Amino acid sequence: MLKSLALAIPILVAEVSAVQTPTQNQIVVTAQRSGAPMWTIETETGTIILVGEIRAVPKSTPWQPDRLEEATAEADRVIIRAAPKFSPGDVFRLIFRGGRFTKLPDKSVAADYLDPAQRARLAALEAEYDIDYDRRSFLMTGFDLLARRLDFDDETTDDATDVVRKAADRADVPITRPDRFRGEDLLDDLADADPREHIPCLEAAMSATEAGQPIIAARGDDWRKFDIPAVMDNPLELALGTCWPWADPEVGEEIRAQWVGMIETAAAQSGTSLAVVPLRVLAEEGGVLDELEMRGFAIGGPDWRGRAAP
């Protein structure tokens, strides 16, 4: 009798463990119930979940971040973005060279760079908001239009990255981040840019501001409905993706390469990897999803470019 019981105990423990330990599929289902758009990649040894993040999710957007927290706690590892690394020296550089970031060079004015139609649009916004952008750098003008005039980041909830980071810290789930860009490199890149390089940012920011507050809620609603092409075409998302640093050819390319590399590394590991990736980096033409598909990964999830994913 005792011998039979001794033999049965390991079997019972294994069965209980199997019930208590979530399967990879259960983790995916839990993550999907959050309402955030996501894609999955099945490998020989595990599963990768790619959450498409937008910044500044409106509070009116009906998603369930607690479900993403639950999935994070059961994942084997998470991958999230990293902020640029700014040193005290970088701060002093910004103070002493601030004019190169905030103003147009050599006492030039907006009309020296913009065509008549572009300058007229800017003048209309200046009149509407009673502000003078004539000497301000186009990048700073773009940021001001988005953050202070359109006020896109007011009344928002935690981004998916913040949700996952906090949940991973609580559950002691290992966190991987891309290499952080040095603040010195980013500031040098910004200071050396020709003002004309930031005109696309200005135009996109003007379009978003002209469209007004309704685009903010529409972007959140389309994100929640997994209408990825609509999110990508939203004037606010276009503006955020057109302005520095995303649109910088070198910085943007390095950001995309970092994500592809980390996901490929995760594909060689066992268990479930959960990655929160900026949606624009994921779903843009030639972005991370396109690159992963080109490398032979079978990607399941929402349509990200006008056709159904496998």
pLDDT for 82 equals 82
The span from the CA of 306 to the CA of 294, in Å, is 17
The percent of residues in the chain predicted with pLDDT above 70, rounded, is 80
Q: For residue 244, what are the CA distances in angstroms to 101, 145, 186?
A: 12, 14, 10
Q: What is the pLDDT of residue 186?
A: 62
Q: What is the spatial distance between Cα 91 and Cα 99, in angstroms, rounded to a whole number? A: 14
> How crowded is the C-beta side of 200, counted as CA atoms within 13 Å?
12
Q: What local confidence, expressed as pLDDT, does residue 266 receive? A: 96
| Residue closest to 228 by CA, chosen among 36, 57, 41 | 36
Mean pLDDT to the nearest integer, 176-192: 68
CB of 248 within 8 A of CB of 255?
Answer: no
Tokens of 112: 């020296």
pLDDT at 275: 97
Residue 140 in this model has a pLDDT that exceeds 50: yes
Predicted confidence at residue 116, as pLDDT, reads 97
pLDDT at position 278, please? 93
What's the CA gap between 152 and 146, in Å, rounded?
A: 6
Query: What tens digit of pLDDT does each residue of 191-208 get?
Result: 677 899 899 999 999 999
Range ranked top by mean pLDDT from 46-60, 93-107, 170-184: 46-60
pLDDT digits over 21-51, tens only? Answer: 467 789 999 999 999 999 999 999 999 999 9
Mean pLDDT of 59-78: 95
pLDDT at 296 over 50: yes
- Local confidence band at 187 (pLDDT 50, 70, 90 cut-offs): low
**How distant is the alpha carbon of residue 46 from its chain centre?**
24
Give the percent of the chain with pLDDT over 90.
65
Q: What residue segments make up the domains of the chain, in order of their start?
A: 33-300
**Does the pLDDT of residue 4 top 80, yes or no?**
no
**What is the model's pLDDT at position 236?**
96
- Average pLDDT on 77-105 reads 67
pLDDT confidence of residue 85:
55
pLDDT at 106 over 80: yes
Q: What is the mean pLDDT of residues 104-133?
A: 96
pLDDT, tens digit (0-9, with 9 covering 90-100), for 233-290 = 999 999 998 886 666 666 778 888 999 999 999 999 999 999 999 999 999 989 999 9
Instruction: Reply yes or no on whether the pLDDT at 3 is more than 60.
Output: no
Arithmetic mean of pLDDT over the chain: 85
pLDDT at 306: 73
pLDDT beyond 80 at 300: yes
